[in-house]
Amino acid sequence: MLNGIHWCDNCNVPIIGEKCENCFKKANFVVLSRAADARPAFENDIRLIKSLLREWIGQPTLKKLDMERKIVLLNRLPYLDKAYEVLVDGKILCHVFFDLYTFKWKVKPLKPLCSLVIEENLGKIAFVNKEKVSKDEILNSTDFKFNAGESEDLVCLFSRDEKSLGLGFLTDNKIIVLKAWSPSKPRYNFGKKASFKDAIKANKLSIEHFESRACSFLERYVNRFKRKTIISYSGGKDSLICLLLSLKTGINAKLLFTNTCLEMPETLKNVERVVEALEIDVIKAEADCTEFWSKAEEVGPPARDFRWCSQVCKLKPTKKVLASFGETLCIVGQRKAESLKRASSQAVWKNRYLPNVINITPIQNWKASLIWLYLIKNRKENLVNELYFKGFDRVGCYMCPSATIADFKMVKEWHPELWEKWEVFLQNWKKRNNLEDAWLTYALWRWKRRTPKGIRNFLGKSSIKTVF
Ligand SMILES: [Zn+2]
């Protein structure tokens, strides 16, 4: 089954079900990559995308596109670093990606964007002496006309009679065809303005349906197990939803927050705000910072395939605090769409490190778009961790090995003191173990045993010394 999202072209909003509850039209299905866990683009995201698109379509077309007054969704793509599909007007307009050659964000246009590019023609187009092109084809300088000089860049390919043919990469006076599509005269259908309010109206019953199912799930398991109930709160949007759903169900529970000692200041602030606003009791578990740093000195940085940090910073302090509660039921914000590993997990489970705890998640089948619509519908945006509005997809430790270089760049910018401490540690480790510069530049410490093939290819190396 293909992953994707439904979209009402008439109302220009995402649809949770299959039919729009506002105009009653059947929604269109847009195929998306990976888990199709698209989230709304917020102010900062829109600003970034606009700044990237400006050189492609210019200010007048950018204004006509009017992304600030529409629902724009971002969906993560598999790539060397951070990359998204950008969904505007119910179409994947383009990809944006954090380029590891330049350490800057870039745009990869798709057919809808190419249709807009030709309107302004700012020199991002090559006119080809052909009626169609095919993927991986190499076009020589005699095959095309390109006006903007000799830069090395992506270009939209058009035929002489202005049919959109595909996307190419211009290099050394040649064009490599990256994508080819069926030739057609471009026409971009601009969607109408739409706000979150419109999106909520078009999905009201669906949101309420998911809510009532989650609440009855919680009620059922709390009654079945009759244990002391705890809501695990991480400062993330998923655990915030679980907290709100638990309160709605009338569950008498305490909040548990484990401070890993590697938290972003925004997360610590968020915990305080949520506890105060919802007037709920909180139990805090604190990781031993000294233990983390001395273990790091001993075995090296935690990595995606060497996750000793979760044991030291999360499980150990959590276990210590929970020990005094005996048998507990823990409500956790875990979703299928988050990762492949979680896709196969159950809505009720035990962790072998915490044998006295039964975990349940009421939001197993919720997608990010539903999470955001729910939060906005219930006017709880003010309780959301501000990291999401700054550009993060998930909330975690500031040096989490699961994060991207684009994420680390943001951490470095906002919290230089935190990042510096980590970088000093990495520099010392690199020196002591005689590792290559690339290990630090490309944050290869995120993998202990084997760097992913894509990154090895990018660096032009069959193997990289990262093992220490
Ligand atoms: Zn509609």
Give the model confidence (pLDDT) of 277-320 as tens digits: 999 999 999 999 999 999 999 999 999 999 999 999 999 999 99
Distance 250 CA to ligand 1 centre (A): 34
pLDDT digits (tens, 9 = 90+) for 178-207: 999 999 988 899 999 999 999 999 999 999
Distance 71 CA to ligand 1 centre (A): 13
465 within domain boundaries: yes
Q: Is the pLDDT of residue 1 over 80?
A: no
pLDDT digits (tens, 9 = 90+) for 97-127: 999 999 999 999 999 999 999 987 788 899 9
pLDDT given at position 467: 47
Average confidence (pLDDT) over 48-70: 96
Q: Are residues 370 and 450 in the same domain?
A: no
pLDDT digits (tens, 9 = 90+) for 213-227: 999 999 999 999 999
Q: Are residues 50 and 93 in the same domain?
A: yes
326 within domain boundaries: yes
**Of 157, 184, 211, which one is at a domain's C-terminal end?**
184
Q: Are residues 386 and 406 in the same domain?
A: no
The beta-carbon contacts of 344-351 under 8 Å, at least 24 apart in sequence, are 347/217, 348/221, 351/315
Of 312 and 450, the one with more pLDDT:
312
Q: Are residues 229 and 308 in the same domain?
A: yes
Find out whether 268 and 286 touch, Cβ atoms under 8 Å: no
CATH number at residue 43: 3.10.400
Distance 197 CA to ligand 1 centre (A): 13
89 within domain boundaries: yes
- Please state the pTM of the whole predicted model: 0.94
Q: Is the pLDDT of residue 466 over 60?
A: no
- Full domain range(s) for residue 233: 203-397
Q: Are residues 373 and 436 in the same domain?
A: no
CA separation for the pair 94, 84 (Å, rounded) = 9
Q: Are residues 222 and 174 in the same domain?
A: no
Structure tokens at 302: 């935690």
Distance 220 CA to ligand 1 centre (A): 35
Q: Are residues 178 and 213 in the same domain?
A: no
Distance 210 CA to ligand 1 centre (A): 20
Q: Are residues 265 and 393 in the same domain?
A: yes
Distance 24 CA to ligand 1 centre (A): 6
The two most distant CA atoms of the chain are separated, in Å, by 77
344 within domain boundaries: yes
Distance 388 CA to ligand 1 centre (A): 27
Distance 27 CA to ligand 1 centre (A): 7
Tokens 């199709």 correspond to what residue? 36
Structure tokens at 92: 């994947």
Distance 209 CA to ligand 1 centre (A): 19
Tokens 């509660």 correspond to what residue? 325
Q: Are residues 60 and 170 in the same domain?
A: yes
306 within domain boundaries: yes
Distance 12 CA to ligand 1 centre (A): 7
Distance 20 CA to ligand 1 centre (A): 5
Q: Is the pLDDT of residue 468 over 90?
A: no
Q: Are residues 279 and 332 in the same domain?
A: yes
Q: Are residues 80 and 36 in the same domain?
A: yes
Q: Is the pLDDT of residue 432 over 60?
A: yes
For residue 134, the one-letter residue type is S
Q: Environment class of residue 352 by beta-carbon count within 10 Å: exposed (0-12), middle (13-18) or buried (19+)?
A: exposed
Q: Is the pLDDT of residue 57 over 80?
A: yes
Distance 367 CA to ligand 1 centre (A): 20
Distance 381 CA to ligand 1 centre (A): 24
Find out whether 138 and 174 touch, Cβ atoms under 8 Å: yes
**Of 184, 218, 246, which one is at a domain's C-terminal end?**
184
How many structural domains are present in the chain?
3
Distance 28 CA to ligand 1 centre (A): 10
**Of 364, 397, 430, which one is at a domain's C-terminal end?**
397
Q: Are residues 230 and 92 in the same domain?
A: no
Distance 89 CA to ligand 1 centre (A): 13
pLDDT given at position 414: 95
197 within domain boundaries: no
pLDDT given at position 183: 95
198 within domain boundaries: no
254 within domain boundaries: yes
Distance 157 CA to ligand 1 centre (A): 34
Distance 175 CA to ligand 1 centre (A): 42
